[in-house]
C-alpha cells in the first residue's frame, strides 16, 4: 500500500467509531478518511468536529459518506452495532449484531475494490467469522480486533504489579474476546526472562493468587469501565490505530487479532485470537508457538464455546 494515497472508511459513528476517527487524525496515518453511519448527520458532525482541529494537526481529507465511498479503501473498519442491554443474553446480542453486520457487509461488497476489512464490533469473533464468509474474500483479508485490547490490559496490569515499564512487558491473551479467553503464560516474558521466573522470585512477592487476580481483572476490565462511565472507547480506538499502522505500513507486526483459523493447533473453522503476523494484506500467518497442555486444552474449550454461538446464528 502506498501511503501517498491511503484511504480508510469507518462504518459506525458511535463512541468507538468517532474515537477511532479522532485517534487516526491525531496520528496522521492516512490522507483520506470517510465516516459512514445510518445517521448521516452524526457522521457529518463527527467529521466536522475533527476537521476543525486539523490546522493544529495536519492536512487530511475527512468527510461523511455512504457505502460507495468504500471503493479504493486500504482498510474498512466496522464499528457499527448495538450494546448489550440489561437482561439480554450473549446470544441475544450476537443475533442482533450479526444481522447488522450482514447488512453492512453486503453494502461494503457492492463497492469493494481492495483493502482489509477490520471488525471491531462485538461479539468480534463471531462477526469476524461471518464477515469473512459473507465477503468471500481470501482468508486473512478479514480480521477482528480480537484480544488485542485484552492483551494490552494484561501487559499493563503485569507492569503495575512488577513495577516495570509496560513497553518491556510482552504477553498475550488468546482465544475468545470474552469469558473463555486465556493468558498465554508460557509466552509471557520481561527482558528475556519468562514470567515464571518473576513469579518464583521472592524479591517480587507475586503469588498464584496474584496471577489469577490479574487474569480476572483483564476479563472484567471492560465491564468495570462501562459501570463507571457507560462505555469503553479510548483504549480500543488506540488499539485499532495500532493495527492500522501495521496494516497500512506493511510492518509484519505480531498482534493477537481474530481471524478464521484453518486447522491450527487442532482447531478449524472458527475465528479466535492467536499471535498473528500482520501486513498490507491482513493476516499473513498465524504463528506456530509452543503451548502447554493446559493452555492447549483451554484454547480448545474457547473454540468450542465460540462454535456453540456460531451454531445459534448460523441461519442469519
Where exactly are the structural domains of the chain?
Answer: 3-144, 148-312
What's the rounded Cα separation, in Å, for the pair 144 and 146?
A: 5
CA neighbor of 108 nearest in space, from 1, 218, 8, 255: 8
Look up the pTM and report it.
0.95
Give the domain 3-144 fold. Rossmann fold (3.40.50)
Is 177 assigned a catalytic role?
yes
The continuous run of DSSP H or E covering 158 comes out as: helix 148-162
Catalytic residue among 177, 189, 300, 301: 177
Q: What CATH number has the domain spanning 148-312?
A: 3.90.110.10
User: Quick one: cell of 5?
Assistant: 494515497
Give CA–CA dist 249/68, Å, rounded.
Answer: 25
316 residues of the chain, pLDDT tens digit each: 444 579 999 999 999 999 999 999 999 999 999 999 999 999 999 999 999 999 999 999 999 999 999 999 999 999 999 987 767 777 888 999 999 999 999 999 999 999 999 999 999 999 999 999 999 999 999 999 999 999 999 999 999 998 899 999 999 999 999 999 999 999 999 988 898 888 877 877 778 888 899 999 999 999 899 889 988 999 999 999 999 999 999 999 999 999 999 999 999 999 999 999 999 999 999 999 999 999 999 999 999 999 999 999 998 8
Amino acid at each position: 500500500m502506498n501511503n501517498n494515497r491511503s484511504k480508510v472508511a469507518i462504518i459506525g459513528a458511535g463512541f468507538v467509531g468517532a474515537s477511532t476517527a479522532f485517534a487516526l487524525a491525531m496520528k496522521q496515518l492516512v490522507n483520506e478518511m470517510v465516516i459512514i453511519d445510518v445517521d448521516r448527520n452524526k457522521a457529518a458532525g463527527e467529521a466536522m468536529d475533527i476537521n476543525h482541529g486539523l490546522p493544529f494537526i495536519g492536512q487530511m481529507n475527512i468527510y461523511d459518506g455512504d457505502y460507495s465511498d468504500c471503493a479504493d479503501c486500504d482498510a474498512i473498519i466496522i464499528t457499527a452495532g448495538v450494546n448489550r442491554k440489561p437482561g439480554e443474553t450473549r446470544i441475544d446480542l450476537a443475533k442482533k449484531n450479526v444481522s447488522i453486520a450482514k447488512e453492512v457487509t453486503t453494502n461494503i461488497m457492492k463497492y469493494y475494490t481492495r483493502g482489509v476489512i477490520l471488525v471491531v464490533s462485538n461479539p468480534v469473533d463471531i462477526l469476524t467469522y461471518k464477515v469473512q464468509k459473507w465477503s468471500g474474500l481470501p482468508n486473512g483479508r478479514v480480521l477482528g480486533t480480537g484480544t488485542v485490547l485484552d492483551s494490552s490490559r494484561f501487559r499493563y496490569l503485569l507492569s503495575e504489579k512488577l513495577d516495570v515499564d509496560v513497553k518491556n512487558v510482552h504477553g498475550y491473551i488468546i482465544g475468545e474476546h470474552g469469558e473463555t479467553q486465556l493468558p498465554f503464560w508460557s509466552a509471557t516474558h520481561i527482558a528475556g526472562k519468562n514470567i515464571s521466573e518473576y513469579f518464583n522470585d521472592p524479591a517480587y512477592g507475586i503469588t498464584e493468587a496474584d496471577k489469577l487476580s490479574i487474569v480476572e481483572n483483564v476479563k472484567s476490565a471492560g465491564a468495570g469501565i462501562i459501570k463507571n462511565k457507560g462505555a469503553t472507547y479510548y483504549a480500543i480506538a488506540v488499539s485499532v490505530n495500532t493495527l492500522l499502522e501495521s496494516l497500512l505500513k506493511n510492518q509484519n507486526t505480531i498482534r493477537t487479532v481474530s481471524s478464521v483459523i484453518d486447522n491450527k493447533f487442532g482447531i478449524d473453522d472458527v475465528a479466535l485470537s492467536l499471535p498473528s503476523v500482520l501486513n498490507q494484506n491482513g493476516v499473513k500467518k498465524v504463528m506456530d508457538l509452543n503451548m502447554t497442555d493446559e493452555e492447549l486444552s483451554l484454547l480448545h474449550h474457547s473454540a468450542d464455546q465460540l462454535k456453540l454461538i456460531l451454531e445459534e446464528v448460523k441461519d442469519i
